[in-house]
């Protein structure tokens, strides 16, 4: 089905099942430990052996010599695979650095070997006996030190590197009020609960991998390419995923090494990346240095806005597109954005929840707060003054829906924003200095092809199959809701099967595109199934009503179970998009409000209250969507106050490479969180009229925290994370 005109009324709009706060249909499996995750699939194939991965002990250079003799002779060892004996390997389209390193080493903890043994303990013992001599090469590990080597990249997503509209330099120079400030965001890790894990089994030249991956079709393609085998010979199965955040978008070393280990050992092999390996072996969100300049009239109207961002990556890696939102969020006739990329020998940087905007909003939304302060204008009012209903770089393009102003107003009213003292450092509650902060939320809505297959059986059950994944987001549930709504059956009559490359190719889980696109694909397949049923019954599908498990036309009622006739009825289709996404700018909006307390003596920061108001199209399942947003708000607090992959600039590794040193918020760090969805349906997004929401929730949170800390203390921290050492020296004198 091609979606090229704004959506009109369709069966989804009945909202009998869609739009209801439905609990996760796979929830009982997860809470009882019976949803099998990749490493736990002990029963899928017999005779599983264990692999243990060795990561490079240097950040850049070569393997000078490698001695496997002692390891090979160790008890239980079945095989040891290195680049030397793995045979010729290609490289996945979406991998910058090779997943199996050697002799060249591209980054610290790049996989260099796997030991396969009968037990995990034997495999782990064997890797201790592998002797590797390294020769360190010239290396660059410090982003700030290589800024002058940064070039203009050619990004494969997130728009062009640079944009230039009007005359920024002149407009900024003559603006009566100017802000010019530089912000930094650190490298961050996905730190999902389930590690990257795979079980690989060969049957002749056919390979099956049970794994944990967000994008099944990408994984198949890149695994086939890396192994040099046809992709028809590769099957990936990933029905349950214990978190991804972008860290499982791409083929990673666990998959490849399990496949190589299994081939060498002649047995199925299972591999989980050890937690300390995950931070340097897999991808991370790259650090940025961002300079923002804004010129404004005294009434707050922005006349010039410029945003430059620097990040680093391995050769072939992408830049962090931190300037993306600045192209769209605020009005202003003169504007420039610039993206620069430096070669760094740290582990590979790539997408993490809301790549681009998450980092960009951390900087931009402090800058707007600083401008408000200079102007003496309320930061909510300043944002409203600079609202735009058109893409400011291409004014002929309107936003399909844009309720930023409504989000700000609704949030301000609910949060009690009018009680905020605009003068910093004035409000106390015992030993705590109290402050409130606000930030806009912004994240683009991406539309992308997604297919599904639906089957009606003689019990009147509807089974949906698609390679869509559920990374904890609620895909199973919203897909079941979609099929139930379309076919007029209760939720209990729908079976959803996900995460298998034998199923039709979906949009996958990434970039907050999963919810809208995967359900739109199911919608398309259900339209076809309705037509097939109507044809079978000799009725007009346009006039048939599917409700209460019955197909109704005129005064004829046929139970769906009968409509299937002698066998199952199967329909498959995909949603594909025309030009609507080009004609209209599709984005999601919100507003974040945060109250913090800062200890007047120790500068300890406690978040006291949080509120998010989001406008993101139709909310398919308010319960699941709320969970996504409060999770994202929590992650935003982590970004503001804790998360930091600290770079060891001598050895080129992230030294905070475990869950003790890489701090994320725990329950005790998070206060009462409130969140509200504005009523919105977006007829330009898909027949579902929905948009993404899971990444919107993180965008802007960290800046709202930073702005609240400023309001509490008068100390402006521009380097994340905001740890108390950055506040202490400048804290107001105790009263």
Please tell me the number of Cα atoms within 13 Å of 327 on its side-chain side: 25
* Closest separation in Å from C-beta 696 to ligand MOS: 12
- The binding site for ligand MOS (CB under 6 A) comprises 214, 244-246, 249, 351-353, 355, 510-511
Torsion of CA 312, 316, 320, 323, to 10 degrees: 110
Neighbours of 502 (CB within 10 A): 11
Report the SS3 class of residue 458.
coil
What DSSP element (H or E) covers 399? none
Report the SS3 class of residue 105.
strand
Tokens 């049970």 belong to residue: 210
* Closest separation in Å from C-beta 623 to ligand MOS: 21
Active site residue 194: no
Cβ distance to ligand MOS smaller for residue 332 or 508: 508
Cβ distance to ligand MOS smaller for residue 92 or 355: 355
* Closest separation in Å from C-beta 191 to ligand MOS: 13
* Closest separation in Å from C-beta 282 to ligand MOS: 13
Q: How far is CA 516 from the centre of its chain?
A: 15
Tokens 């793995």 belong to residue: 86
Q: Which of 447, 446, 397 is nearest to 576 (CA)?
A: 447
Q: Which of 152, 141, 158, 627 is nearest to 351 (CA)?
A: 158
Q: How far is CA 79 from CA 42, 69, 120, 269, in A?
A: 21, 11, 13, 11
* Closest separation in Å from C-beta 628 to ligand MOS: 12
Tokens 């490289």 belong to residue: 91
Calpha distance 219→215 (Å, rounded)? 6
Q: Which residues contact 597 (CB under 8 A, 6 or more apart)?
A: 429, 432, 433, 434, 605, 606, 608, 712
Find the residue with minimal CB distance to ligand MOS. 246
Cβ distance to ligand MOS smaller for residue 82 or 628: 628
Cβ distance to ligand MOS smaller for residue 288 or 707: 288
Report the SS3 class of residue 723.
coil
Cβ distance to ligand MOS smaller for residue 295 or 355: 355
Residue 288, both tokens: 């940025």
Calpha distance 469→245 (Å, rounded)? 13
* Closest separation in Å from C-beta 317 to ligand MOS: 15
CA-based diameter of the chain, in Å?
A: 84
Cβ distance to ligand MOS smaller for residue 122 or 509: 509
Calpha distance 434→642 (Å, rounded)? 20
Neighbours of 4 (CB within 10 A): 11
* Closest separation in Å from C-beta 42 to ligand MOS: 28
Do the Cβ atoms of 337 and 152 come closer than 8 Å?
no
Quick one: 638 exposed, middle or buried, by C-beta within 10 A (0-12, 13-18, 19+)? buried
* Closest separation in Å from C-beta 391 to ligand MOS: 22
Cβ distance to ligand MOS smaller for residue 109 or 353: 353
Cβ distance to ligand MOS smaller for residue 318 or 345: 318
Q: Considering the candidates 194, 695, 719, 733, report the single residue annotated as catalytic.
A: 695
Do the Cβ atoms of 342 and 149 come closer than 8 Å?
yes
Catalytic positions, written as ranges: 695
């Amino acid at each position: 089905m091609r979606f090229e005109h704004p959506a009109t009324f369709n069966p989804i709009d009945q909202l009998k099942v869609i739009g209801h706060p439905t609990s996760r249909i796979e929830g009982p499996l997860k809470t009882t430990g019976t949803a099998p995750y990749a490493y736990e699939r002990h029963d899928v194939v017999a005779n599983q052996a264990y692999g243990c991965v060795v990561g490079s002990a240097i950040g850049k250079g070569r393997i000078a010599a490698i001695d496997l003799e002692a390891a090979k002779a160790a008890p239980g060892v079945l095989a040891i695979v290195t680049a030397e004996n793995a045979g010729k390997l290609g490289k996945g389209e979406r991998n910058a650095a090779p997943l199996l390193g050697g002799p060249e080493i591209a980054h610290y903890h790049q996989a260099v070997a796997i030991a396969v043994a009968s037990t995990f303990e034997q495999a782990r013992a064997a890797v201790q006996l592998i002797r590797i001599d390294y020769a360190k090469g010239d290396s660059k590990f410090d982003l700030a030190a290589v800024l002058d080597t940064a070039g203009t990249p050619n990004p494969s997503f997130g728009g062009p590197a640079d944009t230039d509209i009007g005359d920024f330099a002149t407009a900024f120079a003559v603006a009566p009020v100017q802000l010019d400030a530089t912000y930094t965001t650190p490298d961050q890790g996905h730190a999902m609960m389930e590690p990257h894990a795979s079980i690989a089994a060969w049957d002749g030249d056919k390979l099956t991998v049970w794994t944990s991956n967000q994008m099944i079709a990408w994984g198949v393609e890149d695994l086939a390419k890396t192994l040099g085998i046809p992709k028809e010979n590769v099957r990936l199965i990933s029905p349950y995923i214990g978190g991804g955040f972008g860290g499982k978008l791409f083929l990673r070393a666990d998959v490849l090494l399990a496949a190589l280990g299994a081939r060498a050992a002649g047995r199925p092999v299972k591999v989980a990346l050890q937690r300390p390996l995950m931070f340097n072996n897999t991808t991370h969100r790259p650090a940025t240095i961002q300079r923002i300049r804004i010129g404004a009239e005294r009434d707050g109207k922005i006349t010039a806005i410029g945003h430059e961002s620097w990040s680093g990556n391995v050769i072939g890696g992408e830049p962090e597109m931190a300037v993306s939102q600045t192209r769209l969020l605020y009005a202003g006739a003169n504007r420039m954005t610039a993206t620069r990329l430096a070669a760094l020998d740290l582990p590979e940087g790539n997408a993490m929840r809301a790549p681009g905007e998450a980092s960009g909003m951390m900087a931009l939304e402090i800058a707007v707060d600083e401008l408000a302060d200079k102007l003496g204008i309320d930061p909510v009012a300043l944002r409203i003054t600079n609202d735009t209903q058109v893409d400011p770089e291409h004014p002929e393009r309107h936003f399909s829906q844009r309720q930023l102003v409504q989000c700000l107003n609704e949030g301000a009213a609910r949060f009690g924003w009018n009680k905020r003292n605009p003068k910093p450092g004035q409000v106390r509650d015992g030993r705590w200095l109290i402050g409130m902060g606000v930030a806009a939320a912004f994240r683009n809505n991406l539309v992308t092809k997604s297919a599904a297959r639906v089957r009606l059986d003689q019990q009147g059950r509807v089974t949906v199959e698609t390679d869509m994944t559920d990374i904890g987001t609620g895909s199973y549930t919203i897909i079941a809701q979609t099929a139930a709504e379309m076919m007029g059956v209760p939720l209990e009559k729908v079976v959803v099967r996900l995460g298998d490359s034998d199923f039709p190719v979906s949009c996958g889980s990434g970039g907050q595109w999963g919810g809208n696109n995967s359900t739109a694909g199911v919608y398309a397949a259900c339209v076809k199934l309705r037509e097939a049923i109507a044809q079978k019954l000799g009725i007009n599908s346009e006039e048939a009503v599917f409700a209460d498990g019955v197909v109704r036309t005129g005064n004829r009622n046929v139970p769906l179970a009968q409509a299937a006739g002698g066998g199952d009825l199967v329909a498959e289709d995909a949603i594909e998009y025309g030009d609507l996404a080009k004609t209209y700018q599709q984005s999601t909006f919100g507003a974040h409000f945060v109250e913090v307390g800062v200890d007047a003596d120790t500068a300890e920061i406690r978040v006291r209250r949080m509120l998010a108001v989001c406008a993101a199209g139709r909310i398919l399942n308010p319960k699941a969507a709320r969970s996504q947003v409060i999770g994202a708000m929590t992650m935003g607090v982590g970004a503001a106050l804790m998360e930091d992959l600290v770079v060891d600039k001598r050895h080129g590794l992230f030294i905070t490479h475990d869950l003790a040193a890489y701090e994320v918020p725990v329950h005790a760090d998070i206060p009462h969180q409130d969140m509200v969805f504005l009523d919105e349906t977006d007829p330009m997004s898909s027949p579902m009229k929905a948009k993404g929401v899971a990444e919107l929730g993180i965008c802007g949170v960290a800046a709202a925290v930073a702005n609240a800390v400023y309001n509490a203390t008068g100390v402006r921290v521009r380097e994340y994370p905001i740890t108390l050492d950055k506040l202490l020296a400048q804290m107001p004198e105790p009263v």
